[in-house]
Amino acid sequence: MAAPRKNARDDGSADLLLDTLRPVVEGLVATFGPNCEIVLHDYRRPDASVVAIAGTVTSRRVGGAMSEIGLDLLAQGDTAEDKLNYITRTADGRTIKSSTILLRDDTDHVFGALCVNLDITELRLAVKSMRDLIGEPEPAAMPTTLFSDDIQDVLVAIIGQEEERLGRPLAHDTRQGRLEVIKALDSRGIFQMPRAANVVAEHLGVSRATVYADLNTVRGVRAG
């Protein structure tokens, strides 16, 4: 049975940096105002990674889960790079400008992130009004990102994105099709989550053991 891969070490330098950044979270939001949210993540606990948060842009709380963006970075391990000034759209239609600044321990190992989320919905509406006046076309649609305290919501959202990308229902797919899905989900870090296999199994219409067997196959793990 495949075990989730670990991407972080329980290192004292990581804990020290997290403790140092906790008061910074409140200070930044006090500086930038109510449309700003600062989130401090500990990637060693991906299903409850939020260790400090100020602001209410994504309505999350301490102990909440990371988003699919965080999972993507977690899957990249120590080769991941900061993700700066990216734009997403929330499920309720608000526009968010974000930056995810990775945290590394003394060995340059990625163990967390400091995230800045700015709600720029009203600014975008103002820009749209000006575009309408001067006749400029609308920019391309932005991807939707689900922010939730419950990791299962995030997992279901990622599975739904893969189903939309493939253009077919995933339930009771062929084995080859299922392996393609498992490989794509694994590359996005979904199997870092302790409940991921159960959620994937339910959506694919197979057993949890089948999901683990397929995961071993796409990772090239030989049965012992």
The string of pLDDT tens digits covering residues 68-84 is 888 889 889 999 999 99
Report the percentage of the chain scoring pLDDT > 70: 83
Burial label, 109 (beta-carbon count in 10 A; 0-12, 13-18, 19+): middle
Q: Are 111 and 8 in contact (CB under 8 A)?
A: yes
**What is the C-alpha separation between 71 and 189, in angstroms, rounded?**
5
> Which tokens hold the place of 160?
């739904």
**What is the C-alpha separation between 219 and 17, in angstroms, rounded?**
33
Which range, 44-58, 143-157, 165-179, is most confident?
44-58
Q: Are 66 and 77 in contact (CB under 8 A)?
A: no
> Which tokens hold the place of 23?
């008061």
Q: Is the pLDDT of residue 42 over 60?
A: yes
As a whole number, mean pLDDT of residues 61-69 equals 90
The string of pLDDT tens digits covering residues 96-141 is 899 999 999 989 999 999 999 999 888 766 766 666 666 666 665 5
DSSP E strands, 43-160:
50-54, 83-89, 95-104, 110-119
For residue 128, the model assigns a pLDDT of 64
Q: Is the pLDDT of residue 2 over 50?
A: no
Burial label, 77 (beta-carbon count in 10 A; 0-12, 13-18, 19+): middle
SS (H, E, C) 55-76: CCCCCCCCCCCCCHHHHHHHHH
For residue 98, the model assigns a pLDDT of 92
Report the percentage of the chain scoring pLDDT > 90: 35
Residues contacting residue 131 through CB under 8 Å, at least 6 positions apart? 137, 138
| Helix%, strand%, coil% for the chain, nearest 5 | 45, 20, 35
Q: Is the pLDDT of residue 224 over 60?
A: no
Top-confidence residue, 215 or 165: 215
